[in-house]
Amino acid sequence: MAHQARPLAQGQKAQSGLTLHQRNSIFGYALVAPVVICLLALVFYPFVFAIWISFTDQIVGGQAKFIGLGNYIYLAKTPSFQKTIVNTIVLVASVQGLKLVFGLGIALLLNQPIRGRQIWRGLVLLPWAMPAFVAYLTWKLMYAPNGGAFNVMLDLMGIPIQLDFLSRELAMPSVILATFWRGFPFWVISFLAALQNIPQELYEAAAIDGATTWQRFQHITIPSIRHVILVVVLLSTIWTTNGFENVWLLTQGGPSDATMTFPVLSYFGLQSLRIGEASAVSVAMLPVFAMLAFIIVNLLKED
């Protein structure tokens, strides 16, 4: 780096008896130390610790005994856990599918020469600016059988049925819709930022060559923002799979496990104080996260 050869810095070297490179290294370590120590203590160590206790029969306040894959074998046989795997996949796949389609669609719409684009963009941010717990409390009330917004609408339209949107059959679609509402702004804003970076000349050249709208979308828009799409999909998949508030506040995993997901099941495990088993629930998600994280890290390194 250029600044390492500055005359003034050279002069400082003589005073301390260390080379400039060494001084810079020490200074670098000192500045980064608080964050690194925090993360080693609060992320890395707990991460390893979670994996370790998932192989033990640890309960709160008790002695831990190593039981190998005991917790995992037990979980694999539990109907609740099997349901959790299916639910998590259904929830995440549906929500992410919706966000991809509508997120891209809305971003394309907002990228048109419409009036008040700033205002629309601010509007799209609203669900995301709202605290998640507030959003889900509000949706829970909208779903309520008695006095909830959707039933009031049915009533006002003269449809004489009262639906329980959080019943066994409808709970999952209801959780999906609420999770989508709160999560799609991130996608729209990220996609919109990427769309605005595409040089207009590409479209102009394509128009001269007589390309149709669809061809321009397929051959210019998508390739230009492919990278962003991929990063957003992966990041958001980690967050959505990790989501606790949506299920906890809307259904607490019920009725009868109809919406039980990994984080909620793990939370119930902790409440029951069997933390070995509860840890195994979270650690079971780990391979999926590790894979997603690995891809993201490599994508970001490419830049």
Partner 1 sequence: MLTRLTLGQKTVYYSLLVLLAVFILFPIYYMFTVSLKTPRDIYRVPSLLVPNPTTQNYVDLFGKQDFLQSIGNSLLVATAATVISVFISVLAAYSLVRLKYRFRDGFSRLILFSYLTPSALLFIPLSVIIARLGLANTLQGLIFVYLTFSAPLSTWLLMGFFRSIPMDLEEQAMVDGATRLQAMYRILLPLSTPGLVAVSVFTFTGAWNELLLALIFITSPEKRTVPVALQYLITGDTFRWGLIMAGSVAAAVPVMVLYYLAQRFVVQGLAAGAVKS
Q: How far apart are CA 108 and CA 214, in angstroms?
A: 13
For residue 91, state whether it binds partner 1 (rule: CB under 8 A). no
Pick the stretch among 70-78, 79-87, 115-123, 164-172 that binds partner 1 (CB under 8 A).
115-123
The interface with partner 1 within residues 92-111 (CB under 8 A) comprises 106, 109
Residue 258 or 263: which CB sits closer to partner 1? 263
Out of 73, 126, 222, 291, the residue judged to bind partner 1 by CB under 8 A: 126
Number of residues that bind partner 1 (CB under 8 A): 111
Pick the stretch among 69-77, 90-98, 119-127, 168-176 that binds partner 1 (CB under 8 A).
119-127
Count CB neighbours of 280 within 10 A: 27
What length does the chain have? 303
**In the complex, minimum distance from the CB of residue 69 to partner 1, in angstroms, rounded to a whole number:** 18
The interface with partner 1 within residues 235-264 (CB under 8 A) comprises 235, 238-239, 241-242, 244-245, 248-249, 252, 262-263
The interface with partner 1 within residues 278-297 (CB under 8 A) comprises 278-279, 282-283, 285-286, 289, 292-293, 296-297
Cβ atoms of 104 and 244 closer than 8 Å: no
Q: Distances from the Cα of 246 to the Cαs of 6, 172, 187, 203, 242, in angstroms?
A: 55, 11, 18, 41, 10
Q: Which tokens in the block code for residue 60?
A: 């709160």
For residue 174, state whether it binds partner 1 (rule: CB under 8 A). no
Q: Which tokens in the block code for residue 131?
A: 């605290």
> Smallest Cα–Cα separation from 136: which of 79, 192, 175?
175
The interface with partner 1 within residues 136-165 (CB under 8 A) comprises 137-142, 144, 146-147, 149, 151-153, 155-156
Out of 95, 98, 124, 171, the residue judged to bind partner 1 by CB under 8 A: 124
Q: How far apart are CA 296 and CA 303, in angstroms?
A: 11
The interface with partner 1 within residues 59-78 (CB under 8 A) comprises none
Q: How far apart are CA 239 and CA 258, in angstroms?
A: 21
Q: How far apart are CA 104 and CA 192, in angstroms?
A: 8
Q: How far apart are CA 150 and CA 83, in angstroms?
A: 28
The interface with partner 1 within residues 176-215 (CB under 8 A) comprises 181, 186, 189-190, 193-194, 197, 200, 203-204, 207
**In the complex, minimum distance from the CB of residue 172 to partner 1, in angstroms, rounded to a whole number:** 19
For residue 80, state whether it binds partner 1 (rule: CB under 8 A). no
Proportion of the chain in helix, strand, coil states, percent, rounded to 5: 75, 0, 25
Q: Which tokens in the block code for residue 303?
A: 């830049």
For residue 222, state whether it binds partner 1 (rule: CB under 8 A). no
